[in-house]
Chains A and B, each alone.
Chain A
Amino acid sequence: MKLPILFMLLFGSITLTAQSLDFLPAPPPNLLDRETELYYESRLKSLQKNLPLQGPGKRAMKRLYEARYEKLFRELRGGYMIDRKGISDLCQLVFERIIQANPDLQKLPLRLYVSEETGPNAVSLGEGTVILYLGLLRRLENQHQLAFVISHEIAHFVLDHSRNTMVEQITYAYNRAAREAEAARIENSSRAYEEVVNLLQKRLYQRHRYSRQAEFEADSLGLRFVMATSYAPEGALGLLEILDQVDADKFQDSIAYRQRFDQAAYPFQDRWMKPPAKSGFIYGKNDFALEMAEDSVGTHPDCQLRIQVLQRQLAANQSSLQLARGRQRDALFRLLHPQMDKEWLTSFYRNGQVGKSLYYSLKALTFYQDDPYVHSMVGLSLYHLYQSKKNHRLGKVLDFPQPKQPEDYQTFLTFVRNLKLKELLGLCQAYMGAQPEAWNSYEPILFAKVCAASLSPESARFQELSKTYQKTFPQGVYLEEWKALAQP
Chain B
Amino acid sequence: MRNFILLFCLLCIQQGFAQDYTVEDVMRLRLRNIGPIIQENQVKGYYAFYQVARADRGNRIFMLKILDENAQEVASSSLVKSKFTYLTEGVYNGKAILFSFIDTRERTAELVTYDLSAQQIGSLRYPRMRGNVWRATYGYSMIEGEESSNLTIYPAGESGFIRQSFVDTRKTGYKLEFLPNDLGESGRWEKSSDPQSREFEVPEIADVHAPFLISGIALRRNSSSRDIHYNLQLRDIYSGEALFEQPLYDKQYKLSFLMGKFHPKRNEIMVVGEYFRPQDKVFNGKSLGLYIMGLDLEGNINRKVFLSWQEDISKFLSVNEKGRLDEGGFLAFHRAVLDRDGELYFVAERYRKAVSGTGVALNILSAAAGSESSGIAYLKMVVEEMLVFDLSEDLTLEEVKIFEKRPNSILLPEGWGWFSSKALAQYMASFGWFDYNYTQEAPDDKSFYATFISMDKEKKEGRKPYMGVIIKDPEGEFSLDKVDLRTDARRINVLPASPGKVMILEYYKRERRLSMRLEEFNY
Contact = CB atoms under 8 A, between A and B. Distances in A.
Given A281-B116, A282-B116, A395 B517 contact: yes
Interface string A387-417: 0011111111111111110000000000001
A1 B76 CA distance: 57
A392 B519 contact: yes
B78 A288 contact: yes
A41 B55 CA distance: 46
A373 B425 CA distance: 60
A421 interface: yes
B461 to A, nearest CB: 14
A286 interface: yes
Contact of A286 (B71, B77, B520): B77
A192 B55 contact: yes
A445 B394 CA distance: 57
B484 A392 contact: yes
B520 A389 contact: yes
Contacts of B94: 280
A70 interface: no
A394 B520 CA distance: 8
A389 to B, nearest CB: 7
A401 B115 CA distance: 23
**Residue of A193, A281, A286, A421 most packed against chain B (CB within 10 A):** A281
B117 A279 contact: no
Contact of B19 (A286, A355, A392): A355
B385 interface: no
A279 B68 contact: yes
B78 A282 contact: no
Nearest to B37: A281
B255 interface: no
A395 B75 CA distance: 22
B66 A400 contact: no
Contacts of B492: none
Contacts of B20: 395-396
A282 B63 CA distance: 18
A395 B56 contact: no
B143 interface: no
A390 B523 CA distance: 10
Interface in B67-89: 68-78, 80
Contact of A283 (B18, B54, B74): B74
B522 A287 contact: no
A285 B76 CA distance: 9
B44 interface: yes
A317 B70 CA distance: 55
B78 A193 contact: yes
A192 B56 contact: yes
B50 to A, nearest CB: 13
A192 B53 CA distance: 9
A390 B482 CA distance: 10
A395 B19 contact: yes
A401 B77 contact: no
B56 A286 contact: no
Given A281-B45, A282-B116, A285-B75, A400 B70 contact: yes
B61 interface: yes
B246 interface: no
Contact of A395 (B45, B61, B72, B504): B504
A399 B118 CA distance: 24
B520 A196 contact: no
B449 to A, nearest CB: 13
Nearest to A354: B19
B119 interface: yes
B483 interface: yes
A396 B18 CA distance: 7
Contact of B74 (A282, A353, A393, A417): A282
A83 B5 CA distance: 50
B53 A400 contact: no
Contact of B45 (A279, A353, A417): A279
A283 B52 CA distance: 22
A187 interface: yes
A474 interface: no
Contacts of A390: 522
Given A193-B80, A396-B20, A400-B70, A285 B519 contact: no
Nearest to B519: A392
B71 A279 contact: no
Nearest to B72: A402
A285 B20 CA distance: 22
A111 B519 CA distance: 44
B80 A280 contact: no
A282 B94 CA distance: 12
B75 A283 contact: yes
Interface string B329-348: 00000000000000000000
Contact of B71 (A389, A400, A403): A400
A284 interface: yes
B482 to A, nearest CB: 8
A362 to B, nearest CB: 17
Given A193-B78, A279-B69, A390-B522, A285 B119 contact: yes
Contacts of A286: 75-77, 117-119
Interface string A447-488: 000000000000000000000000000000000000000000
Contacts of B75: 281-287
Nearest to B68: A279
Given A192-B61, A392-B519, A187 B18 contact: no
A196 B53 contact: yes
Nearest to B504: A395
Contact of A400 (B54, B63, B72, B77): B72
Nearest to B63: A288
B453 interface: no
Nearest to A194: B78
A185 to B, nearest CB: 13
Contacts of B237: none
B206 interface: no
B517 A396 contact: yes
**Residue of B18, B56, B63, B75 most packed against chain A (CB within 10 A):** B75
B518 interface: yes
A192 B19 CA distance: 35
A395 B44 contact: no
Interface string B477-500: 000000110000000000000000
A421 B483 CA distance: 14
A391 B74 contact: no
**Residue of B69, B72, B518 most packed against chain A (CB within 10 A):** B72
A60 B63 CA distance: 30
B68 A394 contact: no
A403 B68 CA distance: 11
A193 to B, nearest CB: 5
Contacts of B518: 395, 400
A286 B45 CA distance: 16
A252 to B, nearest CB: 24
A207 to B, nearest CB: 16
B479 to A, nearest CB: 11
B357 to A, nearest CB: 35
B29 to A, nearest CB: 17
A287 B76 contact: yes
Interface string A265-308: 00000000000000111111111110000000000000000000
A289 B73 CA distance: 12
B7 to A, nearest CB: 23
B64 to A, nearest CB: 10
Nearest to B66: A281
Contacts of B44: 279-280
Return the 6 tightest CB-CB contacts between A and B, nearest first: A395-B517, A285-B117, A282-B117, A400-B70, A402-B72, A192-B55
Interface of B: 18-20, 44-45, 52-56, 61, 63, 66, 68-78, 80, 94, 115-119, 483-484, 504, 517-520, 522
6 contacts: A193-B53, A193-B55, A193-B78, A280-B44, A283-B75, A389-B520
Given A285-B75, A394-B519, A400-B70, 6 more contacts: A187-B54, A192-B55, A193-B55, A389-B522, A392-B484, A400-B72
